[in-house]
């Protein structure tokens, strides 16, 4: 299926229907000699997206009408120009206030079994309510947001087309979440240069990138054990020892031993989403690789009991660090990047800078 998407770089302007058909087709057999890496993606999780829901979800994603103050859309934090993250160490919420965690990119979220850094949401539909209702983020009132959408004819029609079975109740918080989730499921990234290499095209990676791939798969670095293809993540939380007082998964699960554990993030499009880690504390991929080489948080005095066994110090030459970083860059494929709509049904400005606080506060 990745080839289908690859062969249409201009797909953004084409119909979503074509993309959906491509997504729903089984992955084709890889061409070229076996690399042992051509693992197909699993099926998307949850409800299959429909053309109508994706179109509605896209409008909602870019529309600040969802936020109480009408100034913050999903896209303000998940920006197409930043790998669907925001380029900040930690997200800026309502009125520009600093939140405690880094904004993750959204590519391939449709494959994730657990969402958020601490894994607290089991699916995209329930995840949406997090930022939407949080008083520090969009601060929406569930009744008010539905009333606002119902008052806009383009949304009334959009919801009716996307959820015909719901009749007069088509505009609801539940449909809102389902439409946004449908839109997020088509944000796939699976045709990077790495993927072409995995499918047998050896020329798709440079020599340095190939050396980086070998390093990533080695027992020395053990990166692949937590970041395996095709998604380059695993669906669980573990500790690598990023210092700090965020309890992460341990807080959600109520298990003290798992304090400081976080979901393993995907490495796809990672070159686009600096800075890194749940708290945005590492600025570059070079810093990330050197952090691992020093044994993760061990070098920062984090209790080794909170650090996964697979995280051990290893030594790399500078050129090998560069190879690893180069390889990570070959995992970039933003062909599904959503085009920013010229306007949204509410008529509010799309992706314009939020007023005052955000621009006047200096970014850490
Ligand atoms: C103020 C910035 C901000 C806004 C607005 C925002 N997000 Fe996020 N998003 C974040 C941050 C920060 C996280 C990580 C929070 C955490 O893990 O506790 C996140 C996490 C997510 C995740 C989980 C990704 C993963 O890999 O686990 C999804 C999906 C998501 N957001 C979608 C949305 C949608 C849809 C909207 C609009 C309804 C939205 N976000 C609005 C900042 C934002
Ligand atoms: C034991 C499992 C494990 C191993 C092994 C591992 N990682 Fe990670 N990786 C994680 C976890 C968990 C996080 C998130 C930690 C946090 O935010 O506190 C992470 C985060 C990252 C990030 C930041 C991604 C982002 O979006 O912020 C990068 C890049 C990364 N790892 C690359 C690597 C590389 C390169 C290696 C090998 C040198 C490696 N990882 C080995 C579990 C692992």
Ligand 2 geometric centre to CA of 318 (Å): 19
What percentage of residues in the chain have a pLDDT greater than 90?
A: 85
Please name the residue whose Cα sits nearest to atom 42 of ligand 1: 103
CB 109 within 8 A of CB 124: yes
Check pLDDT > 70 for residue 353: no
Q: Report which of residues 13 and 167 the model is more confident about.
A: 167
Cα 356 to Cα 10: distance, rounded to the nearest angstrom? 36
Return the higher-pLDDT residue of 180 and 31: 180
Give 316 Cα–ligand 1 centroid separation in angstroms: 35
pLDDT value at residue 357? 44
pLDDT at 35 (0 to 100): 80
pLDDT interval class at 5 (50, 70, 90): very low
Q: Does position 333 have pLDDT exceeding 90, yes or no?
A: yes
pLDDT given for residue 362 in this prediction: 37
- What spacing in Å lies between the alpha carbon of 320 and ligand 1's midpoint? 34
Closest-CA residue, ligand 2 atom 6, reads 223
Ligand nearest to the CA of 97: 1
Return the closest-CA partner of residue 238 out of 306, 293, 141. Answer: 306
Q: In which residue are the tokens 């959820």 written?
A: 163
User: What's the 104 CA to ligand 1 centre distance in angstroms?
Assistant: 7
Phi, psi (deg, nearest 5) at residue 39? -80, 125
pLDDT band per the 50, 70, 90 thresholds, residue 358:
very low
217 C-alpha to ligand 1 centroid (Å): 30
Residue 264 Cα to ligand 2 middle (Å): 6
Residue pair 61/73 in contact (Cβ under 8 Å)? The answer is: yes
Instruction: Give the mutation target among 67, 92, 126, 131 for probing the ligand 1 site: most ligand atoms within 8 A of CB.
Output: 131
- The closest ligand to the CA of 67 turns out to be 1
**C-beta of residue 160 within 8 angstroms of C-beta of residue 154:** no
- Can you give the pLDDT at residue 18? 53
For residues 99 and 92, is the Cβ–Cβ distance under 8 A?
Answer: yes
pLDDT at 76 over 60: yes
Determine the pLDDT at residue 340: 95
Task: Output the six-digit token pair for 155.
Answer: 């949304």
The pLDDT mean for the chain works out to: 90
Region 27-49 average pLDDT: 79
Q: How large is the average pLDDT for residues 211-218?
A: 97
> Which phi and psi angles does 289 have, rounded to 5°?
-60, -40
Which ligand is located closest to the Cα atom of residue 246?
Answer: 2
Q: Which pLDDT band, with edges at 50, 70 and 90, does 352 fall under?
A: confident
Nearest atom in ligand 2 to 275's CA: 27
Does the pLDDT at position 208 exceed 70? yes
Please give the number of the atom of ligand 2 that sits closest to the Cα of 293. 38
Average pLDDT over residues 235-259: 96
Q: Is 183 in contact with 59 (CB distance < 8 Å)?
A: no
Q: Considering only CA atoms, which residue is closest to atom 34 of ligand 1?
A: 74
Q: Which residue has the tokens 């009333």?
A: 147
* Mean pLDDT across 319-326: 98
pLDDT value of residue 363: 38
Distance CA 198, CA 32 (A): 9
What is residue 3's predicted lDDT score, i.e. its pLDDT?
Answer: 29
Mean pLDDT of the region 147-153: 98
pLDDT at residue 9, as a whole number: 34
Asked if omega into 275 is within 30° of 0 (cis), the reply is yes
> In terms of Cα–Cα distance, which of 335, 69, 338 is closest to 180?
338
Band (59; pLDDT cuts 50, 70, 90) = very high
Domains of the chain listed by start with CATH number: 51-187+338-360 (1.10.760.10), 193-329 (1.10.760.10)
Enumerate residues 6+ apart whose C-beta is below 8 A from 99.
90, 91, 92, 93, 136, 137
């Amino acid at each position: 299926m990745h080839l289908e998407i690859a062969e249409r770089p201009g797909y953004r302007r084409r119909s979503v229907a074509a993309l959906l058909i491509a997504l729903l087709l089984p992955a084709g057999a890889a061409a070229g000699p076996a690399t042992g890496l051509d693992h197909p993606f699993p099926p998307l999780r949850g409800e299959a997206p429909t053309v109508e829901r994706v179109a509605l979800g896209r409008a909602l994603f870019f529309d600040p009408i969802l936020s109480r103050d009408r100034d913050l859309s999903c896209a303000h934090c998940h920006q197409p120009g930043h790998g669907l993250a925001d380029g900040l160490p930690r997200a800026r919420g309502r009125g520009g206030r600093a939140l405690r965690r880094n904004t993750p990119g959204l590519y391939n979220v449709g494959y994730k079994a657990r969402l958020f850094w601490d894994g607290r949401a089991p699916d995209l539909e329930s995840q949406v309510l997090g930022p939407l209702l949080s008083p520090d983020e969009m601060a929406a009132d569930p009744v008010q947001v539905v009333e606002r959408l119902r008052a806009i004819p383009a949304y009334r029609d959009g919801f009716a087309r996307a959820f015909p079975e719901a009749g007069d109740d088509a505009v609801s918080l539940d449909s809102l979440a389902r439409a946004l989730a449908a839109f997020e499921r088509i944000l796939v990234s699976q045709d990077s240069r790495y993927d072409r290499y995995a499918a047998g095209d050896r020329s798709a990676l440079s020599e340095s990138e190939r050396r980086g791939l070998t390093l990533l798969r080695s027992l020395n670095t053990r990166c692949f054990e937590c970041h395996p293809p095709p998604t380059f993540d695993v669906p669980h939380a573990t500790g690598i020892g990023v210092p700090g007082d965020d309890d992460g998964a341990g807080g959600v699960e109520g298990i003290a031993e798992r304090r400081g554990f976080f979901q393993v993030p995907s490495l796809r499009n990672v070159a686009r989403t600096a800075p890194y880690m749940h708290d945005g504390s590492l600025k570059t991929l070079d810093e990330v690789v050197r952090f691992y080489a020093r044994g993760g948080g061990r070098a920062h005095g984090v209790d080794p009991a909170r650090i996964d066994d697979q995280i051990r110090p290893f030594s790399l030459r500078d050129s090998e660090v560069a190879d690893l970083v180069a390889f990570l860059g070959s995992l970039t494929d933003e062909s599904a990047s959503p085009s920013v709509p010229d306007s949204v049904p509410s008529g509010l400005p799309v992706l314009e800078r939020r007023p005052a606080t955000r621009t006047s506060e200096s970014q850490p």
